[in-house]
Amino acid sequence: MFKITIDNILIEVEEGTTILQAARMIGGKVVPPAMCYYTGLKGSGGKCRSCLVKVAKGSAKDPRPMPKLVASCSTPVQDGMVVENTTSAEVQEARKGVVEFLLINHPLDCPVCDQAGECDLQDLSYGFGMEETNTREPRREYPVVDIGPLIKLHMNRCIHCYRCVLAAEQLTKKRAHGMLYRGDTMEISTFIQTAIDNDFSGNMIDVCPVGALTDKTFRFKSRVWFLNPMNAHRECSKCSGKVTAWMFGNEIYRITGRKDQFGEVEEFICNECRFEKKDINDWVIDGPRKIKRQSVISSNHYEELKKGSIIHPIEGTTEPQE
Amino acid sequence: MEKGSKVNHHLFVRENKAVSFSDETLAKIRSLIRRYPEGRQKSALLPVLHIAQEELGGYLSVDTMDYVASLLGINPMEVYEVATFYSMFYLEKMGKYVLEVCHTGPCAICGGEEVLKHIKDYLHIETGETTPDGMFTLKEVECLGACGNGPVMQVNTEFYEHMTEKQVEKVIEELRQKQGEEGTSKGWAEQFS
Amino acid sequence: MGRAILLDKVNIPGIRAFEVYRAHGGYKPVDKGLREMTAAQVQQEVIKSGLRGRGGAGFPTGLKWSFLDRKSDKPRYLVCNADESEPGTFKDRYLMEKLPHLLIEGLILSSYALGVKTCYIYIRGEFKYLVGILETAIREAKKNNYLGERILGTDFSLEIYVHPGAGAYICGEETALLESLEGKRGNPRIKPPFPAYKGVYDCPTVVNNVETLATVAPIISMGGETYAGIGTGKSTGTKLISACGNINKPGVYEIEMGLPTEDFIYSEEYCGGMKNDRMLKAVIPGGSSVPILPADLILNTAKGQPRLITYESLSEGEFESGSMLGSGGFIVFDEDACIVRNTWNLTRFYRHESCGQCSPCREGTGWMEKILYRIEHGQGRMSDIDLLVRIAKNIEGNTICPLGDAAAWPVASAIRHFRGEFEAHINVPCTMYNGQMKEERAL
């Protein structure tokens, strides 16, 4: 077991754990935000740079600090490592910079975006974004690509996290979309006109941290915060059948995977459960799902949030030690 | 580079036309694949795409890329991802000669931008366009690694150095004369032993 | 000065051919290394030589080799980085074109030292003609039993293959290069793990620059200590400098480390002075990524000492008043050059070459390019200058690979040393650039 200190909180973790995972074990405000890392997707992480932290002490053996901020999601812990997240002004500044970069080409169309209310970028901006924009350059606009009747691709909102590509690669046999071109014209696309169609493609929606991939069968139906998330299950031959049903009265508006406090699904679900079973008689409703993420859908408590304190569970919040 | 903020990508069409390499080229490709460990045949993708572009129409059509994917036993999407990443691969039909003019720093301070402008005026085309006779396509490229001999232009991967406005006219006229003749430089497949 | 270790044979007619190269003492270092020395001894000589990576980072080569995971039972690989794409740098192209066998010698010796059986030369695709030159050299070496099975009757076997890239500056970054070698997009990998443990095909791998590997041959020939005696301080040996820009004699020069920059620019032996006797305005001394220095700071350090071409001297004064040796791409600007236009130009390059994987580089390079384009075309605001400094700072150090730094440094340094010129461009389209060209692009 390795001892590691994050924002002055000591925790023992197993060798091979990343800094981010260790921070998640502590929970609360010390958890760095993650826009591209996704525990269930092999090879994810390291790209968005929003989880950068400072390693003030490399390890007990080699106490030198690391020269640059590191991506906590992909840096394994060392015994005796000391990490600063919320306690480092440098980290907070860098994170502000990253949020600014993610936003300069984002359309900021939250009012018409189905992801609003459960959007990681919205949360991140609220936590670390600036109140005014510094850019007066026109925002990047991609041509619209239709990827079929189930999923809406809205490329202008994409933050190029690669999660959907990894999900398609790892959950399906023959991935029909990918990351094309490069640099700031890099694009998620199918390259040729085709519908993305296989039993697990809908998980692209769940793993997308922003509104770039949304459920077409739920498009413009309701704001997420007007719906009641309910745990539901059914017998399914393709997946576990354990889902969250988003309901208004007795009507099911949409089905998603069950997401944990870090926005990651517990189990990937199949397209049949997600898109075809919208009748309440299709499901056994287990009861209300407690949404542990702090976001409008769970708390309606934006006024309680302080700057820099976004994305942490409501219960058992651990404060960084001063 | 994109004009303004609009990204000008578009979707491509699979025509389902039969494409294939000659037996000789196929043998060469098989020997290229053997250069990499077993199960790592995807490694041959870049050299094979170079050969495909050169021998199968001067650009990479969807059909060509699907064919390459089948040769290497990989998902066509992996080929599209790679082909769109590297700037030497063309996704559209090009002119017989592709004039690639370097306009990066060292070439620019030696007159690269003037040469570029002169080609536009001389051929009456803009960057990315092809002359109506299908002879020349003009491309602006970044550093070609020949900065000491700038301004530099590559025509179908052959270097033309110390370009001036006059020089460039001369090169273009010589290429026009060559019409019908094969180029003198060795093709991609011949580069490999 | 003027000591040639790498390029000593460069003017011999027909030197590209094995027979000619051999007749002039070529492959003797290989004979010596393979017949008289153990692998460990070869590595020891490289450590003693003090050789530092010639690709740009200047990391000690012997030390890098010592990191290679020798406990793994997987095959090891040596990958030669010939993806020379840094604007202003064209030394490797010259070396491979003129002396392909020198590189092959270095590769054999290095592979022997590292226990490598397969070596790839990753060369940028634009150097298509060099693929043929190198493949021919490999074929010749193989015919003469310097490659292939049981080289020179020893137990050592080696195959070298040339692998072309296809137009991507980022593939010069070693992990992007390995991705590209595996037939993927050139996205740099997240480190750790480092290539010494998990390189190409997840096997232990060493990636070295062309010039670095070529230098191993003369090091074995003369001995590491003798090599270390050349040059000065921690900058041992000679370095290929590729000079370009507004000078009389652009080209590739081999210099002994420690040559004053003033001699390099003005002496007949090297650059031959400024073209048309213009005044020297600025120099980018190590390839486009390193900070630009104004004339006074390239000739002398801030402390008034002559600036020398060494790793230490060029970086003296850090980023306040220094720069870096980098890859040795020496770009000289005369008084007519517009720093703003040049900075915009280079930023456009980095925007074009960013792989797009991580947010600060993907978005930041594009943002800086758009702002600099506006400033150059008279649409800038005074506040844009500080904004650029801030963007550069937010990119620097926060990206997956050094391309972010490479894009940020030219902007930050140009503003640091030539702020007045940026200010003069605000609201006034560039007056220094004399080509009356209008880029047709929406601001």
H/E/C letters for each residue in chain A?
A: CEEEEECCEEEEECCCCEHHHHHHHHCHHHCCCCCCCCCCCCCCCCCCCCCEEEEEECCCCCCCCCCCCEEHHHCECCCCEEEECCCCHHHHHHHHHHHHHHHHCCCCCHHHCCCCCCCHHHHHHHHHCCCCCCCCCCCCECCCCCCCCCEEECHHHCCCCCHHHHHHHHHCCCCCCEEECCHHHCEEECCECCCCCCCCCCHHHHHCCCCCEEEHHHCCCCCHHHCEEEEEECCCCCCCCEEEEEEECCEEEEEECCECCCCCECCCCCHHHHHHCCCHHHCEEEEECCCCCCCCCCCCCHHHCCCCCCCCCCCCCCCCCC
Do residue C398 and residue A52 have CB atoms under 8 angstroms apart? yes
Q: What percent of chain A has pLDDT over 90?
A: 80
Contact A296, A225 (CB under 8 A): yes
Question: What is the ipTM for the molecules in this complex?
Answer: 0.95
For residue C72, what are its two tokens? 């793994």
Mean pLDDT per 10-residue run, chain C (443 residues)? 85 97 97 97 97 95 97 97 96 97 98 98 96 97 97 97 97 97 97 95 98 98 97 95 96 96 96 95 96 97 96 94 96 94 96 96 96 92 96 96 96 97 89 50 45
Instruction: Note the maximum CA span of chain C.
Output: 72
Interface mutation vs chain B, best among A191, A193, A201, most B CBs within 10 Å:
A191
Full DSSP string of C203-214: S-EEEEEHHHHH
Query: Shortest CA distance to C252 belongs to which of C211, C222, C198?
Result: C211
- Residue A319 reports pLDDT greater than 60: no
- Residue A309 reports pLDDT greater than 80: no
CATH of the structural domain B97-177, one choice from 3.40.50.970, 1.10.10.10, 3.40.30.10, 2.60.40.10: 3.40.30.10
Interface mutation vs chain B, best among C85, C121, C161, most B CBs within 10 Å:
C161
According to DSSP, residue C56 is labeled: T
Do residue A180 and residue B2 have CB atoms under 8 angstroms apart? no
- Residue B183 reports pLDDT greater than 60: no
Tokens 């006779």, residue located? B133
Contact B188, B54 (CB under 8 A): yes
Contact C260, C307 (CB under 8 A): yes
- Using CB atoms, which residue from A50, A94, A160 is nearest to C356? A160
Do residue C367 and residue A137 have CB atoms under 8 angstroms apart? yes
Q: Is C288 exposed, middle or buried (0-12, 13-18, 19+ CB in 10 A)?
A: buried
Residues in chain C closer than 8 A to A94 (CB atoms): 394, 398
Interface mutation vs chain C, best among A124, A133, A137, A166, most C CBs within 10 Å:
A137
Tens of pLDDT, residues B8-48: 899 999 999 999 999 999 999 999 999 999 999 999 999 99
Q: Which long-range contacts (CB under 8 A, 24 or more apart) does B172-175 make?
A: B172/B99, B172/B119, B172/B122, B172/B123, B172/B136, B175/B97, B175/B135, B175/B136
Domain extents in chain B = 23-85, 97-177
Cα separation, C60 vs C210, whole angstroms: 15
- Residue A304 reports pLDDT greater than 90: no
Interface mutation vs chain B, best among C121, C181, C244, most B CBs within 10 Å:
C244
The predicted pLDDT at position A132 comes to 83
Residue A237 distance to chain C (closest CA, Å): 35
Cα separation, C38 vs A248, whole angstroms: 77
- Residue A303 reports pLDDT greater than 50: no
Query: Shortest CA distance to C196 belongs to which of C72, C49, C30, C86?
Result: C72
* pTM of the predicted structure, to 2 decimals: 0.94
The predicted pLDDT at position A320 comes to 57
- Using CB atoms, which residue from B86, B88, B109 is nearest to C245? B109
CATH class of the region B23-85: mainly alpha
Contact C64, C196 (CB under 8 A): yes
Do residue B77 and residue A176 have CB atoms under 8 angstroms apart? yes
Cα separation, A165 vs A207, whole angstroms: 10
The predicted pLDDT at position A131 comes to 80
Cα separation, C242 vs C285, whole angstroms: 10
pLDDT confidence of A294, banded at 50, 70, 90? low
Do residue C356 and residue A184 have CB atoms under 8 angstroms apart? yes
- Residue A297 reports pLDDT greater than 60: no
- Residue A55 reports pLDDT greater than 90: yes
**What's the whole-number mean pLDDT along residues B49-63?**
96
Tens of pLDDT, residues A209-250: 999 999 999 999 999 988 999 999 999 999 999 999 999 989
Cα separation, C442 vs C440, whole angstroms: 7
Q: What is the mean pLDDT of chain A?
A: 90
Do residue B104 and residue C349 have CB atoms under 8 angstroms apart? yes
Give the number of beta-carbon pairs within 8 Å between A and C: 91
Query: Shortest CA distance to C129 belongs to which of C87, C164, C80, C78?
Result: C164
Query: Shortest CA distance to B161 belongs to which of B105, B126, B112?
Result: B112
Q: Is C73 exposed, middle or buried (0-12, 13-18, 19+ CB in 10 A)?
A: exposed
- Put simply, whether C193 touches A (Cβ < 8 Å) is no
- Residue B52 reports pLDDT greater than 70: yes
The predicted pLDDT at position A39 comes to 96
Strands A284-288, B97-102: pairing is unpaired
Tokens 């490694």, residue located? B43
Beta bridge partner(s), residue A251: A248
Cβ count near A285 (within 10 Å) = 14
- Using CB atoms, which residue from C127, C182, C349 is nearest to B43? C182
Cβ count near B183 (within 10 Å) = 14
Do residue B50 and residue C139 have CB atoms under 8 angstroms apart? no
Query: Shortest CA distance to C30 belongs to which of C147, C185, C116?
Result: C147
- Residue B3 reports pLDDT greater than 70: no
Residue B6 distance to chain A (closest CA, Å): 5
Cβ count near B26 (within 10 Å) = 12
Dihedral over alpha carbons A15, A16, A21, A22 (to 10 degrees)? 20
pLDDT confidence of B123, banded at 50, 70, 90? very high
Peptide bond into A76 cis (omega under 30): no
The predicted pLDDT at position A291 comes to 75
Instruction: Note the maximum CA span of chain B.
Output: 52
- Residue C369 half-sphere exposure, CB side, CA atoms within 13 Å? 26
- Put simply, whether A142 touches B (Cβ < 8 Å) is yes
**What's the whole-number mean pLDDT along residues A196-209?**
95
- Using CB atoms, which residue from C354, C357, C387 is nearest to A47? C357
CA A42 to chain CA centroid, Å, is: 15
The predicted pLDDT at position A313 comes to 41
Dihedral over alpha carbons C107, C113, C115, C119 (to 10 degrees)? -10
Cα separation, C228 vs C387, whole angstroms: 45
Tens of pLDDT, residues B124-147: 999 999 999 999 999 999 999 999
Residues in chain C closer than 8 A to B90 (CB atoms): none
Contact C23, C17 (CB under 8 A): no
Query: Shortest CA distance to B76 belongs to which of B16, B8, B10, B9?
Result: B16
The predicted pLDDT at position A225 comes to 87
